[in-house]
Amino acid sequence: MTIDPSIALACRLLGALVFATAVAGKITHRHELAGVVANYRLLPEALSVPAAWGTVALEILVVLSLAGGLYLKAGVALAIALLSLFAVAMAINLVRGRREIDCGCFQSGLRQTLSGGLIGRNLVLSAALSSLFVATTPLAAPLQWVDGVGAGIAAYSLYRAFDQLLALLRSSAELRKRFA
């Protein structure tokens, strides 16, 4: 069984763009990065800085793998492992009742507090990327490249729109509480 090359390209592009955006956000907000990791309270504080920058390094490897196609299955496995780790960290803090901490995604101009929607977002992206574990696809024809790139950009746009919607919903709920 193989996956259509345009679908594989779309999934690769979606994943590469999501992780590239996360890396760019983390580097832009590097002065906050270790604090966000520490705020999850899952590691000793002394490990916050190495864990934060180790995460950035691993995310860069994901981007390179998905964008370049080198070691693709390893890159997909790493992406899914990171997304799963982030989802588990969020879930642990939600169970602890710690909803107000910043998720650390750095993908939105708005601060994003923890929610089930963010966990779901990670799981949906993991599912999309898992399709790349299917048998190696044949080389894409030129029109399949167009389809794959277009679908990947569209999927990324929807992902970002959902991300912004989650942030806006949370912000508006906080405002209603504050002014009620």
pLDDT in tens, 109-134: 556 788 898 899 999 999 999 999 88
Which of 137-152 are b and which e, b meaning 16 or more Cβ less than 10 Å from the residue's Cβ? beebeeebeebbbebb
Residue 141 is given by DSSP the state P
- Residue keyed to tokens 């950009």: 153
pLDDT above 90 (res 137): no
Task: Please state the rounded mean pLDDT for residues 4-16.
Answer: 93
- pLDDT category at 99 given cuts 50, 70, 90 is confident
Give the count of domains, the chain.
1
SS3 97: coil
pLDDT at 130: 94
- Residue 30's domain comprises 5-179
**Distance of CA 164 to CAs 23, 45, 106, 115, 180, Å?**
17, 30, 11, 13, 24
